[in-house]
Amino acid sequence: MYLELKNIEKSFGEKKVLTGVSFRAEGGKAFGLLGRNGAGKTTSIRILMNVLPANSGEVLIDGKPIDYKETKIGYLPEERGLYPKKIIIDQLIYFAELKGMSRKSAVQSIDYWLVRLGMTEYRNKRLDTLSKGNQQKIQLITALAHDPDIVILDEPFSGLDPVNAMLLKDVVKKQIAQGKIVLFSSHQMSYIEEFCDSIAILNKGVVVLHGDLHQIKRDYPRDRLVVRTQTPEEVRADFKDACTIAEDGSLMIRLSSPEEKKSVMTRLTENYDIDEVKVFEPSLNDIFVEYAGDATKEA
């Protein structure tokens, strides 16, 4: 199964917020939808979920217009949407029934997830008696109880301590292993790098970069070397302005062209006490800053 947004356009009055947005997410893989605040991520998600209509364009499943009666979507919003004064089990059943589950099936599924997430003791408590992290886990149950085909997670790790973050990681990995389409929207790049095979970066309503994350990194200009050495000052004196020092103490040498890589590596290892030298591979954070911070950058 694959999900595709194709040439989505959206305006609010005279303000155009999405321009030809297209991307594809496949089942059994995680997809990262990235962008700065106001880039169009939330609008894209709302159109995907049929909360907002697009001015033009299509949302497709396996190449056909999505049937929202047949395709189940689970959504974990960044801004939580549960009722703080209500009993947890009551509102979990309520939301599950809204998504088409019978009461019996809803209770069975909810109890499974309460056990899975270590939340059974809170079953009959009010939501506002829970910590922020535990409220997040209850919100997650509303997204998963009805066994959705598409799981959309908007800042899913917000407010979670390391133990609960690890628990959520295990849950997400199982959803992916079950062949579901898992779509992340987050500013926490480390989680996107950990989970996502493919990404799309939005900038002012335009997709400025998309594709397989590993290939994007591989295609990045390979014109910088990372060097670790016991004699950094000698190397810096030799390479002058082409060499800078990073926060972790490593050196970054910018080459005139990628073809210089071999000769510069040889020069380093033959003349200095080098612990490590490798081609610089950008982190997703580096790529995000470059593409999301410059509206004129093109994929």
CA distance readout (Å), 104 to 3, 96, 99, 142: 31, 10, 14, 16
Whether 269 shows a pLDDT value over 90: the answer reads yes
Q: Output the pLDDT for position 139.
A: 94
Q: Output the pLDDT for position 299.
A: 40
CA atoms of 75 and 182, how far apart (whole Å): 10
**Phi and psi dihedrals of 258, rounded to 5?**
-60, -25
Q: Output the pLDDT for position 78.
A: 85
Q: Quick one: pLDDT band at residue 160, thresholds 50, 70, 90? A: confident
Q: In what order do the strands lie in the sheet with 251-254?
A: 243-245, 251-254, 224-229, 274-279
Q: Output the pLDDT for position 80.
A: 77
Query: Taking residues 101-117, what's their average pLDDT?
Result: 97
CA atoms of 269 and 257, how far apart (whole Å): 19
Residues 55-107 pLDDT 10s: 999 999 999 999 999 999 999 998 878 999 999 999 999 999 999 999 999 99
- What average pLDDT does the structure give for the chain? 93
Q: Output the pLDDT for position 135.
A: 92
Q: Output the pLDDT for position 246.
A: 87
Query: Taking residues 283-289, what's their average pLDDT?
Result: 90
Whether 226 shows a pLDDT value over 60: the answer reads yes
Residue type, 269: T
Whether 294 shows a pLDDT value over 80: the answer reads no
Residues 117-147 pLDDT 10s: 999 999 999 999 999 889 999 999 999 999 9
Q: Output the pLDDT for position 81.
A: 82
Structure tokens at 240: 């002058």
Q: Output the pLDDT for position 248.
A: 86
Whether 200 shows a pLDDT value over 50: the answer reads yes
Q: What percent of the chain has pLDDT over 70?
A: 98
Q: Quick one: pLDDT band at residue 168, thresholds 50, 70, 90? A: very high
CA atoms of 106 and 101, how far apart (whole Å): 6
Q: Is 3 exposed, middle or buried (0-12, 13-18, 19+ CB in 10 A)?
A: buried
Q: In what order do the strands lie in the sheet with 56-61?
A: 15-26, 2-12, 56-61, 64-65
